[in-house]
Chain A
């Protein structure tokens, strides 16, 4: 059996973390931004996939309801996760804004 490895998203995050810790000269913001943009694209792709699945089901395509509902649920979970990250970013921004100079 192959060893269980963390999912790709986690690996990216971890590698960004390692790079930031090991080599501060390398700008970690760019990597985090890339990661964020890629995550957004992934969430968007999931939403599109869910839309396509629903459309296929509604128009009598060869797809089982289980697949459609899973696609919708995955898109929902991914979106919620993205929303939480966005909330955290906004919260961090507001905290910085509240610092008295």
Chain B
């Protein structure tokens, strides 16, 4: 009977992970080095969901994060020869390789996360109300 609430909670947790990834993408909008300090622009993180059959009962299924994938699109080059991480030689000399992240896309995704979160909260609210109303049969 609580599996509806459990499923919605799994969605809340999954959406939180997605929001974390978006925050990370926005935070690393201009990151030009990796954790080891090497010259490698940050790669955008994509959160991929999959169904979680262990949560729901009979037919219904919850959701869980399958994996967090790295975006392979090429970095954006911006002209900034004074930057210490600018490309020294070759055809792109003087350019700085920045992560291929679009701020607007990230914000739109964040809005989608907020709407999905609200929807699942609404579903929990309804499931909770139904459970409470059911108790009135006995009164």
Contacts and interface: CB of A to CB of B under 8 A. Distances in A.
Interface of A: 1-10, 64, 66-67, 70, 73-74, 77-78, 80-81, 84-85, 87-88
Q: Chain B interface secondary structure, helix, strand, loop or mixed? A: helix
Interface in B1-25: 1-3, 5-6, 9, 12-13, 16
B1 A9 contact: yes
Contacts, number: 52
Given A5-B57, A77-B2, A88-B138, 10 more contacts: A2-B59, A7-B1, A7-B3, A64-B12, A64-B16, A70-B5, A70-B124, A73-B5, A81-B135, A84-B139
B65 to A, nearest CB: 12
B138 A84 contact: yes
Contacts of A6: 58
- Report the contact-size class of chain B (Cβ under 8 Å from the partner): 20 to 34
Contacts of A85: 138
A77 B3 CA distance: 13
Q: Chain A interface secondary structure, helix, strand, loop or mixed? A: helix
Contacts of A66: 9, 12-13, 16
A87 B12 CA distance: 35
B118 to A, nearest CB: 12
A74 B131 CA distance: 10
B132 interface: yes
B57 A7 contact: yes
B78 interface: no
10 interchain residue pairs of minimum CB distance: A66-B12, A70-B9, A5-B58, A4-B58, A84-B138, A4-B59, A77-B131, A84-B135, A74-B2, A2-B59
